[in-house]
Structure 1
Amino acid sequence: MSSTSRHKSCLGCIQTKRKCDRAWPRCQRCVTRRTECRYIGRNRPQLQQSPDSDVDQPAPTPEHLGEQSSSNWRLEQYHAEPTLLLTPCWDGALFEFPYHFSLAGQGDFIFNSIQDEVPQPASSNTDPDIVRAVTSDSKLQARVEFVAKRLTRIPRTFAQHGHTMFIHQIQFQQSCSPALQDAMSACALYCMKSAANQALVFRNLENKCQQLIASTNMLLASRTDLLAALQALLLYQLMRLFDGDIRLRAHAEVDESVAILWASQLNALTFNAEDTPMAAPGSIDTSIVTVDRRSDWQSWLVNESIRRTVITAFMLKGVYSFLKLGYDTPVDLDMCFTAQAALWNAQSAIDWCRAREETEQLEIRVKHWDEAIAKAKPVDLEEFGVLIMTMIWGREATRKWLGDDITLKYGLEMA
């Protein structure tokens, strides 16, 4: 008969930093996961490690892998009372993000729970009003999980297409930024991650990230160089925070302060695109107009990329904090972005100018979302705007506003 003994947690729970009920002969977590349960002093401990690496790996089980491969956008929900959201000790929670990160289509991307067991509950000096305001709505958990799933797709999108919702393809191609080129190679290698090459992939990812941080001086870097550095760092953060590897996640948590510092510096350097003089559509000298249009477009690309990248940095921080701790401290980020898919998706100055003439340039200030979005139509938004809308309004309201066709495009119908 099973009983709870006084011995320490089993090795499996220690490795994954989960609370162990210490039942003998097998704890409940090992029974649920169908893995061998070993206790120090009672069984001979055997840590599974990847070849030539000190990276711990959980033992996969055929049953568990079969469930993952057959699932499609499945997310195991953690059902808890609202008061439990105030503590980071969420035992047994497992978030699975099966979005098939491998380019070869082998296996699902699994995100082991980021609600790590910690010895202390949420800090007692946290403002209870702030915590209550962010955790009182039980629907927040669902919308944050959806946004997190979409964010984890970004490195693969960048590796395959050379652009994301905050990195424009033309700007990336024209700038030839070493930081983004390194990030693209790291993303591509990460997409091909397997059990055999995982240690190499992780080592390459960490080296690229640390080289980037060591070589970037935010006070001396130009706006475009700092922008590229922050974009690359966000790609590294997305891979490391949501991979499921404890060491990667720990390093990413340390580097989070660097990302926020760079984002704050970029935010301070950003000027509104409306202050930039635009070429007059009716100008007579066509050669001057062509030059001015190209200059206007490139200037707008830099400014819009900065605004989107800064907002993404704070969005990622908030999403990860909420998933790990159950709450997040709101940031008064007075930033705006252009909610016009035709402008962001333009691949040339001519296309961009045509879009400006045919559509309204909607500058959406995030803190005044409701009144700003009133002028927009569903076709005006691309993924960036959809994610912000989901965070603010929730999934159901976003689905209704977008309509069925666009809802399918962004996977909201499966949320």
Structure 2
Amino acid sequence: MPPSYRKSCLACVQSKRKCDKGLPKCQRCLAKNIDCEYNPRYPGRRRQTTGRNVEENIAFAEPVVEELSRGWQLQRSPVRPTAATLSPYSNDIFFNIPTGPFNLESIPQDDFLNSTVFEDAVAQQVPNDIQRCPSDTTTQARVEFTAKKLAVIPNIFSQQGQTMFIHRYLFQERSPPALQDALSACALYCLKNTENQTLVFRNLEHKRKQLISSMDPLISPKTDLLEALQALILYQIISLFDGDIRLRAQAEADEPVLLMWAAQLTLRTRQFQPSLSPAEAQPLPGSTSTDWRRWLIEESSRRTLITAFMLTGVYSFLKLDYDTVPHMRMSFTAQAALWNSQSEISWRRAYSERERLEVRVTHWDEAIAKAKPDDLEELGVLIMVMLKGIEATGEWLGHSQNIRYGLEEADYGSV
């Protein structure tokens, strides 16, 4: 929810239209692709709190969020996207920042997402003052496949303690309260039934409130912020894809927090490349795992940011049928052997012997040219699906990897 003291934006005031006061832009300005300014705008704001006031922190971080999100800001097209825009060979990706209400029908929790559920609900939910842009069936297929994979992440985390953006080693080493709470919430959610649903939802709500109230992203250490954002992503996934309208409404209200935390983490994240020679593949007796740990923190940060924006983009498409191709300047290490290493020795060996695959999302083809199908893990596959389509990704991966990642069951008529 926007801070209670925020007034309508200047554009809505001048046009005498209702403003939803969304961040970084209200829905109306977002749809019309015009500047959205709130008055007074950041007037010599004095930070008076101890750093625990969530609403003030959101307001304080607005300029950062707006600046960082400018590269992937949602752009509304009044016509159907061209074939070039949605080409499976495009080197951009449509992760969008959503605003506005989400009243879709419940997303199925089985292995198949019914596209008619999305299409029927989306047709009813597009605001009257926004011209609807029909989606391409190929884009719909990619987004539904990605949504299905995102929806099962809490279950994977509860069983394995590791996901495509959370590494088990860091989790076990630090035992951070934020992720400990998220683990218990995810495990309990996986046991949800009609009898205990109320208790499960109350526990989730308690953990979420506790997380947000205890985190000040402006002064917290980077690792604390990373773990808090990872936990919040897990809560958002559950709330957005469960189908309960109250959970979904709360997730919408918490989205500015997620974006503000992501903006702060972006400012503190960089690419870390240790210079290891083949002789250093085996660590010396008594050596520390400083390089590996630093790499894990930076790589987890980059993957967490990509997942956060992927989640908001997928969610935006499913609720409002937006499809756009903004510029993405994010990167990550796509090498599965590096990310899946559970010891310093195996990580050093993989770093010395395997293709590192430092991937910039906007230069996918260039980075992936040297890769083999077994070099990619879940995050790389999802990004490839979003960029290239299900069929093209399946052809590149081959039969065994298709089965592993569920691409053979994804019969959505993709290209």
**TM-score after normalising by structure 1:** 0.69
| Preserved CA contact (<8 Å) 2:373 2:401 | yes
What is the aligned partner in structure 1 of residue 144 from structure 2? 145
What is the match of residue 189 of structure 1? 188
Q: 1:291 and 1:365 mapped to 2: Cα distance?
A: 32
For the Cα contact (< 8 Å) 1:89–1:121, is it kept in 2? no
Which position in structure 1 is the counterpart of 2:378?
383
Structure 2 equivalent of residue 165 of structure 1 = 164
* Alignment partner of 1:259 is 2:258: yes
CA contact (8 A) 1:270 1:306 kept: yes
Percent identity over paired residues: 54
User: Deviation at 1:287?
Assistant: 3.8
Report whether the alignment pairs 1:278 with 2:275. yes
- 2:128 equivalent in structure 1: 121
Change (3 A) 1:251 1:284: closer
Change (3 A) 1:284 1:330: closer
Corresponding residue for residue 18 of structure 1: none
Structure 1: stretches of 5+ with no match in the other structure: 1-80, 101-107, 125-130
Residue-by-residue CA offset, 1:243-291 (whole Å, 9 max, x unaligned): 00000000001111211111121111111113xx435544699647x62
Give how far 1:120 is off: 2.8
Separation in structure 1 between the aligned mates of residue 153 and residue 101 of structure 2, nearest angstrom:
29
Q: Does 1:97 align with 2:109?
A: yes
Given candidates 403, 408, 412, the residue that maps to 1:413 is: 408
Please show how residues 30-45 of structure 1 align to structure 2 within 5 Å: none
Q: In 1, are the aligned partners of 2:181 and 2:207 still within 8 Å (CA)?
A: yes
1:72-83 to structure 2, matched below 5 A, reads none
Which residue identity is paired with 2:357? Answer: L
Aligned to 1:305: 300
Q: Measured at CA, do residues 280 and 118 of structure 1 come closer, stay the same or move farther in structure 2, by a change above 3 Å?
A: closer
- Kept in 1: contact 2:282–2:345 (CA 8 A): no
Q: Secondary structure at the residue paired with 1:139? A: helix
Measure, in 1, the Cα distance between the counterparts of 2:144 and 2:194. 26
Q: Distance between the aligned counterparts of 1:360 and 1:210, measured in 2?
A: 42
CA distance 1:348–1:285, change in 2 (3 Å): closer
- Identify if the C-alpha distance between structure 1 residues 195 and 220 changes in structure 2 by more than 3 Å, giving closer, same or farther: same
Cα gap change, 1:112/1:255 in structure 2, threshold over 3 Å: closer, same or farther? farther
Given residue 237 of structure 2, which amino acid in structure 1 is its aligned partner? L
Q: Identify which range, 224-233 or 202-211, moves more after superposition.
A: 202-211
CA spacing shift, 1:298–1:169, aligned 2, 3 Å: same
Contact 2:101/2:252, CA 8 A, preserved across alignment = no
1:291 aligns with 2:303: no
For 2:276 and 2:366, how far apart are their aligned partners in 1?
Answer: 29
Contact 1:89 1:115 in 2 (8 A): no
Kindly indicate whether the alpha-carbon contact (under 8 Å) linking 2:171 and 2:179 is maintained by their aligned counterparts in 1. yes
- Counterpart of 1:346 in structure 2 is 341
Deviation at 1:331, TM superposition (A): 4.8
Instruction: Judge conservation of contact 1:333–1:367 (CA < 8 Å) in 2.
Output: yes
Taking the aligned partners of 2:104 and 2:320, their CA distance within structure 1 comes to 14
Using the TM superposition, name which of 388-397 and 356-365 deviates more: 356-365
In structure 2, what is the equivalent of residue 6 of structure 1?
A: none
Q: Is the 8 A contact 2:151 2:241 kept in 1?
A: yes
1:345-390: CA deviation from partner (whole Å, max 9, x where unpaired): 1110000001112112110000111211111110100111000000
**Larger Rg over CA atoms:** 1
Distance 1:245 1:136, change over 3 A: closer
C-alpha contact 2:329 2:361 (8 A) present in aligned 1: yes
8 Å CA contact 2:107–2:243 kept in 1: the answer is no
In structure 2, the residue matched to 1:23 is: none
- Residue identity matched to 1:259: L
- Give 1:300 shift: 0.5
1:149-191 residue CA offsets vs partner (Å, 9 max, x unmatched) = 0100100000111111100111110011000000000001100
**Quick check: 1:171–1:301 contact (8 Å CA) kept in 2?**
yes
CA contact (8 A) 2:125 2:319 kept: no
286 and 341 in structure 1: CA distance in 2 versus 1, 3 angstrom threshold: closer
| Deviation for aligned residue 1:121 | 3.0
Structure 2 counterpart of 1:67: none
Residues 328 and 362 in structure 2, CA contact (< 8 A), matched pair in contact too: yes
Within 5 Å, which residues of 2 pair with 1:318-329? 318-328=313-323
1:208-253 C-alpha deviation (Å, 9 max, x unpaired): 1111111100011111100000000000000000000000000001
Q: Deviations over 1:3-43 (max 9, x none)?
A: xxxxxxxxxxxxxxxxxxxxxxxxxxxxxxxxxxxxxxxxx
Residues 9-24 of structure 1: pairs in structure 2 closer than 5 A: none
Question: TM-score, normalized by length of structure 2?
Answer: 0.69
Stretch deviating more after TM superposition (257-266 or 397-406): 257-266
> Residues 149 and 122 (structure 1 numbering): CA distance in 2 closer, same or farther, change over 3 Å?
farther
Q: What amino acid sits opposite 1:313 in the alignment?
A: A
8 Å contact kept, 2:104–2:122: no
Distance 2:170 2:229 in 1: 15
SS in 2 for 1:337: strand
Matches of 2:153 and 2:353, distance apart in 1: 30
C-alpha RMSD over aligned residues: 3.1
Q: Secondary structure at the match of 1:364?
A: strand
2: CA distance between counterparts of 1:233 and 1:270?
18
- Hey, what's the Cα distance between the residues in 1 that align with 2:125 and 2:329? 34
Which letter maps to 1:278? S
Find the counterpart in structure 2 of residue 57 from structure 1: none
